[in-house]
């Protein structure tokens, strides 16, 4: 419940490192990965041997989505060109990569401003 989501700006030059842009604590147990598109956030939550939960919405109003994630879900990645949210399950003997169409999540695909990857 105390896991944090942070966003960092990566400098153009390697020697300049990165700068923290934002950080918040959504209060989700067993949170694994997160991404955002504009103001819309997605957070993966593992549930041991059960399918994972995808939380979605504005950062102050995340709710469980009806789309289930793989068992042992971990990181998330947005692929705007393909129109997919990728999730992977890393539970032993149940490893899977799953692409969820963005239209099923109410998000328009296509490249544009406001896409950012986040990681817990």
pLDDT for the residue numbered 118? 39
Average pLDDT over residues 54-66: 93
Q: What share of the chain has pLDDT > 70, as a percent?
A: 90
pTM of the model: 0.81
Give the integer Cα–Cα distance in Å for 60 and 50: 26
Domain residues of the chain, as ranges?
28-119
- Helices and strands, number each (H, E), in the chain: 0, 10
Give the integer Cα–Cα distance in Å for 15 and 59: 31
């Amino acid at each position: 419940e105390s896991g944090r989501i942070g966003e960092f700006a990566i400098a153009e030059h390697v020697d300049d490192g990165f700068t923290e842009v934002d950080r918040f604590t959504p209060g989700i147990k067993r949170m694994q990965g997160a991404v955002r598109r504009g103001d819309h956030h997605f957070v993966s939550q593992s549930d041991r041997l059960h399918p994972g939960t995808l939380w979605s919405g504005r950062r102050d109003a995340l709710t469980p989505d009806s789309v289930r994630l793989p068992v042992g879900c971990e990181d998330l990645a947005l692929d705007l060109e393909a129109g997919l949210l990728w999730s992977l399950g890393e539970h032993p003997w149940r490893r899977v990569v799953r692409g969820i169409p963005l239209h099923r999540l109410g998000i328009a695909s296509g490249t544009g401003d406001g896409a950012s990857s986040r990681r817990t």
